[in-house]
Structure 1
């Protein structure tokens, strides 16, 4: 073959190669699920609030939400989960900043949060109550009771839905004490900085057990049916494929014997099995 033909063939090959590259769609980046499966691990963001999420003495993340996340991700081929402890109010910013891959903290689905993250379908259905000093000295059995008593102070997790509930009930901001975690709620009651602390019945039950005879849960708490809450896993808005894969597994797994056994150790029972989808809860006003 002559050098001329070689050059011609070389040019032709180069042109053909360039054409093929241009005509071939660019390879898309791996999805989050593909990346997690390849790594074999998922980073779980959580705030310390038993029984929803907390760390064991040796630093392993556990609780209702992380254990469900572990079970579902294993079904998706992701075998390991690493906990990333975060204050409650920093969970969504931390997810957005990619400090972790999913929030597994018993986070309630709310319309406001649905504008910031995308939720899995609910993992649980939750009702609330107050933690108070023995005998409930200020007779606080509802948000309205706090609103009627300007001297009463109510402790709640910073960034939680309880702030909205309190304000909607007419509770002034100077009556609201925002704290980072459930332990701080207990400390606020013990120190007299708050007259009541609001959280889920499950959480309050756990706090009351820690506080012994120095605190108690309000048994006849009066609340709006609209305040029945639904906890779920939360994902970044662009991770719809990951959320959908999780939902598909949740649909098959929730209510199963394995699910009931997984959550019963944290005080959850059949009354906590959810009956709504994330879309239904997001649409609530």
Structure 2
């Protein structure tokens, strides 16, 4: 009798164990759930005014970090920790979990869309050149650089401008790849490069740092397809976080509060766009 009861009890235990084994495992906490639970989000940025940069007191500001602060606050996340990273290491750093979001004004491109999940763009902007005063080599486009094989162009590594330069038939021997905008500025000032290329706002900001020593080209001729659309970027499996951010962005972009937030960095209503990440990823 005792043996039968023992056998029956063991059978019931096995059955329960089987049911437990077949039950779906508890889902791991998502990034969105974690940052809302802890109230802390980590953003990755590279020093590039006016998009994201470190102030002398150590605080991080710029168009993208300030937008991130506003949007995450609306999601109940009050603390934004910033992680300084070289531009070319932003996507690898995001994928490795060093931070939760790239907030660096990164352009949406089809190639990057294969690596990260972009929110819809928060701005649109074109490029220009930084040259010595008087623009001695008469440069006003990627094409003008390509036509003069003696011209050296300073380009920040990992940026879309590197691809634009090569697509315009600028030879690699003409391209000086540098890690950041400070290096671009120094390359032009020291005559190691005849020009640097980047977003119009960035090049104008560099020119303002060294008045009389460098200038931003006012009339830059570019392919309309090169219009840049900057956005926050997330890991591919964090689409719930991306979607939550998009919902807040759509309700906020273009409002007086948004325009007031980005005005100190040179952005205005002309930089607001109705393009979506989905359509830019398809181009």
TM-score (norm 2): 0.95
Task: Specify the alignment match of 1:280 in structure 2.
Answer: 279
For 1:78 and 1:21, how far apart are their aligned partners in 2?
36
Residue of structure 2 in register with 1:121 after alignment: 120
> 1:232 is paired with a residue of what secondary structure?
strand
Equivalent residue of 2:198, what SS?
Answer: strand
Per mean C-alpha deviation after superposition, the further-off stretch among 41-50 and 8-17 is 8-17
Separation in 1 of the partners of 2:23 and 2:154? 59
Name the structure 2 match of 1:254: 253
Equivalent positions of 1:75-114 (< 5 A) are 75-114=74-113
Is there any run of 5+ residues in structure 2 with no aligned partner, and where? none
Indicate the residue corresponding to 2:138 in structure 1.
139
Counterpart for residue 181 of structure 2:
182
CA contact (8 A) 1:255 1:273 kept: yes
1:212-250 CA deviation, whole Å, 9 max, x = no partner? 110111111111101111001111111111111111111
Give the unaligned 5+ runs of structure 1. none
CA contact (8 A) 1:61 1:82 kept: no
- 1:204–1:217 CA contact under 8 A, matched in 2: yes
C-alpha separation between the residues in 1 aligned to 2:218 and 2:208?
14
What SS class does the counterpart of residue 177 from structure 1 fall into?
strand
Over the aligned positions, Cα root-mean-square deviation in angstroms equals 1.7
Runs of 4+ in 1 over 4 A off after TM superposition: 2-13
Number of matched residues?
A: 283
For 1:40, the equivalent position in structure 2 comes to: 39
Distance 1:46 1:274 in 2: 22
Q: Which is further off, 76-85 or 20-29?
A: 20-29
Alpha-carbon distance in 2 for matches of 1:58, 1:189: 28
> Aligned residue for 1:67?
66
Q: Partner residue of 2:147?
A: 148
Residue in 1 aligned with 2:54?
Answer: 55
